[in-house]
């Protein structure tokens, strides 16, 4: 489903961003060609990690509206008419195919020639068996791949390179600026990657028990084993049998920490922790920011590392 008919359901953060894009377009159309300064490239991103990359590469040369507001869970995003209109009006739409079905459909209808699928061409992981089972139970098709590519900083570099290429094509005059910003972001992402590798090289446990299986790329990159209480979709309630199965795994493998997320109810992780005597800690899949958060992708990845080092007994 793409449209929600009640316009009042549009979050203020999204409405403000979309309004800024429309106001920018109006000013550009009305201003004098002799005196008006170049307007920022209008970008719509489908959720936070893509907004982060666009803003880091584009800087002052872009204006980015995020379809998924802070505090919202992006998996089941439904679009308002205003958001769909913003997708059609934007000079560039950055999204992740197969992650948000409403966005996929809106891009197909409104922005097929002005969009960038950030995950296209990347080597992706197959969906987990849990996700396949969940889809079968709900009568739906299983996803083609695990979409959480941004949790591998190395793959984020590839996304940043593709965004840089798109922005350069839209504004060749700022090519050097975009290239310099890419160099800076690449260095930052490589530092996060090297810190994770060094910080998790030696750990008492490599079993990462999480509330939902969003961390496939992270565990592959840093050689952990992911044990999910739920599948890829965080809003799917795991069965009692699945909770019991994970609880048995925790007891049998002396797992000390159960990880939960920032944007979903932690009750499932807390249930397993209570039944097993394990601790709980946050492991943020960075699908969005908490309302009012001052953190960004880089700082959250560092916080995640600190929590994993403590929770897994890494030295």
pLDDT by 10s per residue, the chain, length 315: 333 434 333 344 444 444 444 444 444 444 444 445 679 999 999 999 999 999 999 999 999 999 999 999 898 899 999 999 999 999 999 999 989 999 999 999 999 999 999 999 999 998 767 667 766 776 666 667 889 999 999 999 999 999 999 999 999 999 999 999 999 999 999 999 999 999 999 999 999 999 988 999 999 999 999 999 976 666 667 888 999 999 999 999 999 999 999 988 899 999 999 999 999 999 999 999 999 999 999 999 999 999 999 999 999
CATH fold for domain 7-192:
Rossmann fold (3.40.50)
CB neighbourhood size of 207 (10 A): 18
CATH fold for domain 199-311:
Rossmann fold (3.40.50)
CB 127 within 8 A of CB 144: yes
Looking at residue 142, its pLDDT comes to: 67
**DSSP of 180-197:** HHHHHHHHHHHHHHHHHH
Looking at residue 8, its pLDDT comes to: 39
Looking at residue 171, its pLDDT comes to: 98
pLDDT in tens, 162-177: 999 999 999 999 999 9
pTM for this entry: 0.85
- Taking the CA atoms of 15, 95, 26 and 40 in sequence, report the sign of the dihedral they define: positive
C-alpha pair distances (Å), 239 with each of 133, 234, 242, 263:
11, 13, 5, 21
- CATH 3.40.50.1980 domain residues, the chain: 7-192, 199-311
């Amino acid at each position: 489903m793409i449209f929600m008919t009640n316009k009042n359901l549009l979050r203020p953060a999204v409405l403000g961003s979309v309004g800024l894009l429309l106001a920018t377009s109006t000013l550009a159309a009305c201003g004098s060609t002799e005196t008006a300064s170049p307007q920022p490239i209008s970008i719509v991103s489908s959720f936070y990690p893509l907004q982060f990359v666009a803003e880091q590469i584009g800087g002052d040369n872009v204006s980015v509206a995020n379809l998924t507001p802070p505090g919202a869970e992006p998996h089941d995003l439904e679009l308002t008419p205003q958001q769909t209109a913003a997708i059609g009006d934007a000079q560039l739409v950055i999204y992740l195919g197969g992650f948000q079905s409403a966005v996929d459909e809106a891009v197909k209808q409104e922005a097929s020639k002005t969009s960038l699928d950030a995950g296209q061409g990347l080597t992706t992981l197959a969906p987990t068996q849990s996700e396949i089972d969940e889809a079968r139970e709900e009568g739906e098709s299983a996803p083609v791949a695990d979409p959480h590519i941004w949790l591998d900083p190395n793959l984020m570099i590839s996304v940043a390179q593709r965004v840089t290429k798109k922005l350069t094509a839209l504004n060749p005059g700022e090519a050097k600026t975009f290239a310099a910003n890419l160099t800076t972001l690449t260095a930052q992402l490589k530092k996060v990657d090297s810190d994770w590798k060094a910080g998790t090289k030696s750990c008492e446990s490599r079993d990462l028990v999480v509330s939902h299986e969003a961390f496939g790329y992270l565990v592959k990159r840093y050689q952990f084993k992911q044990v999910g209480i739920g599948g890829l979709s965080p809003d799917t309630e795991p069965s009692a049998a699945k909770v019991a199965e994970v609880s048995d795994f925790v007891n049998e493998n002396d797992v000390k920490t159960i990880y939960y997320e920032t944007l979903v109810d932690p009750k499932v992780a807390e249930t397993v922790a209570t039944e097993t005597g394990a601790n709980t800690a946050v492991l943020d899949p960075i699908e969005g920011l908490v309302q009012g958060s001052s953190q960004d992708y880089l700082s959250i990845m560092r916080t995640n590392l600190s929590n994993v080092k403590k929770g897994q007994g890494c030295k």
